[in-house]
Amino acid sequence: MNGVAGLGSYYRIRPEVAGGLGDDAVLDHTGERPVVTHLHYEVADWLGDCIVSTSPEYLVVPGTAARLQGAGFRSFRLAEAQVTASDQFEIFNPGGSPPELLWLRVDGTPGVDDLGITEAGHLVVSEAVLELLRADGFDHGLVLPWSAEQV
């Protein structure tokens, strides 16, 4: 499924920031913006949402990844991510484990594809993707209307 520009609604979403880049993250700084080549996500606390973020990357739980693929959305790739618990996670979740997460590598065009990344690194999704995320438990993020005039 690919959205068609001008048809349907698009939204900029800001998922819960459940952690940040860990020490093992590898970034390529040769371009205009840093590009993550190895994602190490260190979870500080997780409220249970199916999608989380750390600038400039997004991660999803495996069930959501499978549903995105199963629905036919093609403007993303999935990759393994190194996910670890921070000291803070241990304090808030004694004996707990961080969630299993997959790296959601979005390569679509905002307002054209079902998942797209703006030049500023914001995630833009079609109404169909937003409905899937909400059904899977996207409860703590921010959803804003988006149009092609926005940067």
Q: What is the pLDDT along the chain (151 residues), one digit of tens a residue?
A: 444 444 579 999 999 999 999 999 999 999 888 889 999 999 999 999 999 999 889 999 999 999 999 999 989 999 999 999 999 999 999 989 999 999 999 999 999 999 999 988 899 999 999 999 999 999 999 999 998 876 5
pLDDT of residue 19: 96
Quote the radius of gyration of the chain (alpha carbons, Å).
15
Q: How far is CA 10 from CA 51, 114, 127, 132, 133, in A?
A: 17, 8, 6, 14, 14
pLDDT, position 32? 82
pLDDT at 31: 86
DSSP state of 98: P
Distances (CA, A) of 58 to 90, 93, 144: 22, 22, 17
The model carries a pTM of 0.91
Instruction: Give pLDDT, residue 4.
Output: 40
Tokens 């990357």 -> residue: 57
- Quote the pLDDT of residue 55: 83
Please tell me the predicted confidence (pLDDT) of residue 148.
80
pLDDT of 1 reads 43
Q: Do 130 and 143 touch, CB atoms closer than 8 A?
A: yes
pLDDT at 33: 81
Provide the pLDDT for residue 2: 43
Name 134's Cβ contacts closer than 8 Å, sequence gap at least 6.
Answer: none
Tokens of 135: 């059904």
H/E stretch holding 108 reads none
